[in-house]
Structure 1
Amino acid sequence: MTTELVAADDAAAPAPDRGLTPRTARRLAIAERVLYGAAGTWAAVGPLTDVPWWAHGTAVVTGALSGGRLWRHTARQDGPGLLLATMRSLPVLGWSTAYTAGLLAPVIHYPNGWPMLGAALWTAVMIPMAPWTRSRGLKRAIIAQVPEYADQEETALVPARPAPTTYEGHLRLMWELSPSTGASELCRIHQYDADRPDFEAVILAPAGQAVPATVNVKSVAAVFDVPPAAVTLQPVDGYGPGRLAVRVAPTVAEDDAKDQGLERLWARRVSGPGGMLPGMEMVDHRIDEDRIRILVEADDDAMIHLPRKKLARALHAEDPELVMVETDGMARGVVTVYREHPLINIREATAEDLTMGPDGLIRIGLRHDGRPFKMALYSPELGGLTDLAVGAMGSGKSVFLLTVLAAERISGVISLVADAQSGMSLPEAKGRVRHFGAGIAALGATLAAACAVADYREQVSSANGWGSFTLGSPWSLVNVTLDEINMVLGEHALVPPEFRKWVTGMIARLQQTGRKFGFGIRFAGQSIHVTDLGDAEKIRANAKQGLVWMGRVNSNMTQSMASDMVSDGTEITPIRPFFGNVSDELIAAWDGKETPPGPVTAGMAWGLQGGRAVLMRVFKALKKDKTYPHLISLFETAPAIPGFTPEEDRIFQAAYADSLAAAEHFLAGESDDEDGDGGGKRKSKRPGPPRTSAPAAPKSLRDQVLDALADGETRRTREIRSEVGVGTPDGPAAGSVDNALSKLAGEGLVVRAGHGSWALAPTP
């Protein structure tokens, strides 16, 4: 509180009517009682004396006028105002009634003693009651309890008073009406925020007096009906005891109480010696209406470690899904505790969301904290990227893929799509992308045609000395999307091993050099492990540069993908099928009841990018008549489908037609080969891989080791390593070769021929 607050005009507003002082009230009561004694004596003897008629008439008319006035008050007032009017009319009405009864006694033959007894009774009641004097104190009490009666007209027996129209006016009125504030005033009122009741002011005593001792923290809290903790009193710098600075801040006090409670809870349950995560210190926090955010920093000798379930337990969260964690993988992290799950409600995508920026990014959904979740269609520095989309049936994987494909069309990216499930997973994309292949054979043919175009671009780039890809100069970006890839490369895929090798080889071809010519690749399936996708190490490395969208899958796969892709220490937990509170479900189980399932979590996923994990949800898409009309309309936002150059298109079409025919023929299990003996044709049950212009499938490390020993000579380990390419840029690691030799020895295919020497096992 600064002296500037009170340096301006200190003139006090006129003091309100404080009623009678005790001394004045005593004098008025004495005078009133003397008057009642004289009036009572006259009411007893006056009617029996011989006085002029007008004297008797005056007594009667006075009572009638007083009764009429009281009647008018009953029509205009009720409650406190009527009580005051009645109390002040009582002496006149009683006296006039007693006097009139004395006048009528001879006429109606009352005994002469009765009128005198009535006058004596009136006098006996009025003298101790002193109603006029008491009405002044009653009026003061009524104004204190019901301030609006201070605004009534003078005829209502309460002095006129303007009603406060501002917050400051109400504060001054509350101060003036409190008996503990004495004659002091509340001035220089400053409200901090129009939406909050907190304010500061100066208490000003009358000139030459000190602020009353009755003004303390408790009395001020009582005046404004706030907790004592919300009140602060202190002297005003540069002034004497006649001024006192006051601060009344109930909302600040409430926030402080919450802050202190959260800090104590964190220190006791999380970071303290007996906490669940010692050393994870709270350095700052923010309490909002729907969430609490906590900035955490690990001790200098510790790495950041914030497991969600332990935090939920420590912070008394009812459901671990309400606790979100993000870290930098080293020292700092942000913990967010929500009141309800933030991703239950989500909007639909717009064309603006799906328009790629110069950085190659689009918005495909929202993060848990409401910020947009972005993914890259390509990288200006790296070219084409590798993406993985994994999700069980009903997880929202198809909506994710369709949203990305719509973004590619809107952004001028060529989409080559192959759906191994006969086109059933992505029917909305058919006819709305540059190429759509349905079935396992079409998936292989799509890859072969993409490789053929990549070969063409490689030849042109080599001839021109280009070492990297520039968007639109001269070619468009091409992204190959392979849906339900697990039907071809999965552990239980029903395809011949030769076909799988062929597909794996082409994937490796695009992985190795395709990005340099503007080719990206996207895998999607219900249960993808990186080891299913050919060269696991390269795919893992490339996927870290792109996006892994991991929806609802089984927990084993969750942990496997997390260990492969996440390096910031974030705890990846499986996504449940429905939103709901685990605590409510447990209580229902205890009570033997059932809880209805909440909204489905379709579209919610962990987004793994650059070694970090973020919980997000894809923009909403509602299904109607077995399709997604909103996504279809987003496709149609761009009237033209991006396509190849004429030469590229010719190459793609020719390669696709040749490869599709060869793949279908191969998968049918039949081929026509020349019979060496009779010159005729015979049917082979299993032909070789399709003969196309696509690169041949690369040999596995196991096969390369066997080829190195195929001449029957004994080779030392270092010679085998050199033979298979250890030490070259794309070669395997030395440890991988040693592991392969050990496995082959276990299978009985190679034998040790001395220390550090190997040879093929002899043929039995």
Structure 2
Amino acid sequence: MYLPRAVALERLACTLAAPVICAAPNHSPAGLTTAGIAVLGAAGLGNAVHAARSRTPGSGQRILRSLPFALAAAVDVTALWTPGWGPWNADALAAAGWAVACGALAPFSRTSRGHRSAPAVRPALAAAPSADEPYEEVPVVEEALEPLHPEDGAPLYTRSARELWERAGLPGGTLLVKAIPHPDTEHDLTILLRSREPGRPIGNLTPAAVAAAFVVMEQDVTLAPVEAQPDGRQSGPGWVQAHITPDANRRRTTEPTTEQWWADRISTDRGPIPGSVFVKKVREDRRRVTHYIAQVPDEIGEPRVNLHTLAAALKTKYDDGRLFVTIDADHVLVSLWDTSPLAQEFPATRELLTPDADGRWVTGYLGNGQPARNRVYTDRGAAHGLFVAPSGGGKTQLMALHVAADALFGGVVWLATEAPDEKTAALGEHTDRYGIGALYMLRMLRALNALMEIRGQMLWDDGRLHDWDPKAPGCPYRMLSAYLDEFLSAARHGTYGEEVMDLAETVSVKGRKYGIGIKVAGQSIYVQDGFTQLLCENLRENCIPVILKVAAKKVGDMFRALGIAEDHIPAPLPRSFSPEERGRIERVMAGEPEPPADSNTGGAGWIVEGKQPDVLRTLYMNFKTGIDHYFPDLVTSLTDHEIGELERRELWFDWTEPPRPGEFPT
């Protein structure tokens, strides 16, 4: 016969305790052992009385477990009052009887709790029939048990789920209260479970047990706490709900929603944007771009974006110019273009180039599709300019856009270049003064320096002197923009270079408040190349720099020179924004050459208005078809007073002349 281990241990404990119970009062009536037996007996008696009066499930077992302690105290007290060991060793006999009685009660006090046995089907006992007697089928008598679910009017779906649950043996000692099917699925449901024993928590229920009961995979089961409901439904550790979703998980793997895809691929701990929560997806068919908007909770901090893994998740390449990310506080905008916006051509128009009331005009378009704007003036005065690009990078195109904007604003435009070309010459036709060479640039800077003094003495309509303000009435002069193309070449000139740099620094510091801005264009802004730190800082603070098509190895140093923080230095632009032609393997196998790369990155680069550079593609001005329609009909010039003062100082003449006698004293 199988004997539970707990019963065997309890009987052994009673056998070992019996000698102590009878010996303690005889050898040490006032000892701690005797007192301890009395205390345990009193506790056992009190527990038995409380169990008998409570009449709750399990009270009988509590009484049986308390009796050994109460009887031990009774034997101990009896031994105290008998002389010696009592007549016929009554103390020892009483202790032995106690041990036998406790051993007999042990199996009943250890009856299994928390599992209802299956309905017992016991045939009635009957004598075996003899060979002469006809066989009679013995009637089966079913033992009546309390039903697990009193008639609660549960629907058929819930009753069917209960059958599966009970067939599995009530996992975790729970009862299935309700089963709720999920809409538009065949097998998904949510089950509401409660502890079979009221007042006890559910502690050993696992997803694997639920999955086994409903014949699904463990990963298709999610356990969740139950919250209190307005209808009075209970909650807490005695309740739990299980979401069983094999269909949803299968669909999430094969055809996930955008929100599910974002949660599984983007917002994971090692994903491109950890901790982000998907907000919405917006498709713009007109511009052929898809926007994904997400939010990062405050407790995570500033959004962190890994562009390489994000590009992989979006099935694109990091450097193909189709993917752009914009961070706005705790929100993240991911823009994925069908084709790179940087590969597109944005024609310039007079409307885009005309400054608005705040002096802003459209230079091009950012990678996210927003207009990129520059300005002809700032709140500090006339705006300077800084254009950096290698040969063929679109510098002349960019300079032409700025010249047109200044002219459309009504400003005076001067242009000096160290390296003339066809486009620069065409642009010079729409300026007040245009010339070539370091000498011409020096004479222009000398005139600018003198104009600051002249304008500082010109009275406004109210009879007073003021710093230049485009919105203030009564200004006696016009804004002047001086363009210095290939500036570093002139600044390194053996004869004129030092004065060119000194005068440029002076104008960059003071010119803005006299309505004079200088626009410096070149291939470098490095100090080691001759560009002074003072000039770079003055231009940076009073302009919106534009950097075009910088070589990959120079990107970091270029933006550090502009004061851009290390965290905001952008990655280099690709050599081409056109998608690679497929079929390279076939061409290799056939021995065919690769098609030529389309170098279409001219005019692509960065505009630096804030602390972080933004990728842009500048507007395109078609010089081949003519540029007259971009400019006003009349070219604006200096006032007669300004020209007269410059002539008096011998600074207003044909600046293309050779050096005049005494112009450059040795």
Q: Given the two structures, how large is their TM-score scaled by the length of structure 1?
A: 0.48
The AA in structure 1 aligned to 2:282 is R
- Structure 1 residues 298 and 537 mapped into 2: Cα distance closer, same or farther (>3 Å)? farther
Q: 1:89-104 alignment to 2 at 5 Å?
A: none
The separation in 2 between residues aligned to 1:375 and 1:322, in whole angstroms, is: 24
**CA deviation vs aligned residue, 1:569-620 (integer Å, no higher than 9, x gap):** 5552333443322585976887665134236222222111122322222222
Match of 2:268 in 1: 272
1:325 is aligned to 2:321: no
Distance 2:406 2:585 in 1: 47
Query: How much has 1:649 moved relative to structure 2?
Result: 1.9
Query: Secondary structure of the residue that 1:363 maps to in structure 2?
Result: strand
Q: Deviations over 1:595-651 (max 9, x none)?
A: 342362222221111223222222223343xxxx3323323xx12111111121234
Deviations 1:105-160 (A, max 9, x none): xxxxxxxxxxxxxxxxxxxxxxxxxxxxxxxxxxxxxxxxxxxxxxxxxxxxxxxx
Q: Is the 8 A contact 2:525 2:558 kept in 1?
A: no
Residue 553 in structure 1 maps to residue 550 in structure 2: yes
Q: Letter of the 2:347 partner, please give it.
A: E
> Secondary structure of 2:335's partner?
strand
**Equivalent position of 2:314 in the other structure:** 315
Residue 511 (1) aligns with residue 508 (2): yes
Mapped pair 1:387 → 2:391: no
Kept after mapping to 2: 8 A contact 1:659/1:690: no
In the TM superposition, residue 504 of structure 1 has moved relative to its aligned partner by: 1.6
Aligned residue number for residue 432 of structure 2? 434
Residue 286 of structure 1 is matched in structure 2 by 282
In 2, distance between residues paired with 1:337 and 1:641?
43
Q: CA deviation at 1:399?
A: 1.2
Query: Does residue 1:603 correspond to 2:603, yes or no?
Result: yes
The 1-side partners of 2:501 and 2:439 are apart by: 14
Match of 1:649 in 2: 643
Which residue, out of 459, 475, 482, partners 2:477?
475
Return 523-532 or 507-516, whichever deviates more.
523-532
Normalized per residue, the structure richer in helix is: 1
SS at match of 2:537: helix
AA of the residue aligned to 1:520: G
Change in CA separation of 1:460 and 1:403 when aligned onto 2, cut-off 3 Å: same
2:233 matched to which residue of 1? none
SS in 2 for 1:348: coil
Q: Distance in 1 between matches of 2:260 and 2:532?
A: 51
1:507-558 deviation per Cα after TM superposition (whole angstroms, max 9, x unaligned): 1111111101111111111233366565425633542442211111212332
Q: Which runs of 5+ in 1 are unaligned?
A: 1-215, 220-254, 666-670, 673-688, 693-764
Name the SS of the counterpart of 1:326 in structure 2: strand
Q: 1:217 to 1:285 in 2, by over 3 A?
A: closer
Structure 2 residue corresponding to 1:448, chosen from 446, 455, 469: 446
The answer to whether the 8 A contact 1:318-1:582 is kept is no
Q: How does 1:326-725 map to 2 (within 5 A)?
A: 326-328=326-328, 331-379=330-378, 381-422=379-420, 426-460=424-458, 464-470=464-470, 473-489=475-491, 493=492, 495-496=493-494, 499-529=496-526, 535-537=532-534, 539-540=536-537, 542-563=539-560, 564-566=562-564, 569-570=567-568, 572-581=570-579, 584=582, 594-598=594-598, 600-624=600-624, 629-635=625-631, 638-652=632-646, 655-656=650-651, 664=659, 690=664
The Cα shift of 1:465 comes to 4.1
Segments of 5+ residues of structure 2 without an aligned counterpart are 1-182, 187-250
CA distance in 1, matches of 2:308, 2:584: 16
Q: CA deviation at 1:442?
A: 0.6
Shift of 1:336: 0.8
2:404, 2:443 → 1: CA distance?
23
Distance 1:559 1:571 in 2: 6
SS of the residue corresponding to residue 340 of structure 2 reads: coil
Aligned to 2:303: 304
Percent sequence identity over matched residues? Answer: 20
Task: Report what 2:34 is aligned to.
Answer: none
Q: Distance in 2 between matches of 1:257 and 1:648?
A: 75
Q: How many residues align?
A: 408
Name the CA shift for 1:455/1:374 in 2 (closer, same or farther; >3 Å): same
Structure 1 CA distance, aligned partners of 2:542 and 2:531? Answer: 18
- Asked if the contact 1:585/1:595 (under 8 Å) is kept, the reply is no
Distance 2:586 2:404 in 1: 43
Q: Distance in 2 between matches of 1:611 and 1:331?
A: 17
| Distance in 2 between residues matched to 1:632 and 1:395, nearest whole Å | 23
Cα offset, 1:443, TM superposition: 1.0
8 Å contact from structure 1 (residues 390, 525) kept in 2: yes
Partner SS state of residue 547, structure 1:
coil
> Which digits, 9 at most, give the CA deviation of each residue in 1:351-405, with x for residues without a partner?
22222211001123233344332210112x2111221111122222111111221
Q: Distance in 1 between matches of 2:272 and 2:604?
A: 29
CA gap of 1:503–1:218, structure 2 versus 1, over 3 A, is: closer
CA distance in 1, matches of 2:583, 2:376: 41
Instruction: Tell me how far 1:661 sits from its aligned partner.
Output: 8.5
Q: Secondary structure at the residue paired with 1:303?
A: coil
Q: Structure 1's 585 and 322: CA in aligned 2 closer, same or farther, altered over 3 A? A: farther
Structure 2 counterpart of 1:434, which letter?
D
Q: Is the 8 A contact 2:459 2:476 kept in 1?
A: no
CA distance in 2, matches of 1:537, 1:587: 54
Paired position in structure 2 for 1:98: none
Q: 1:542 to 1:281 in 2, by over 3 A?
A: farther
CA contact (8 A) 1:414 1:434 kept: yes
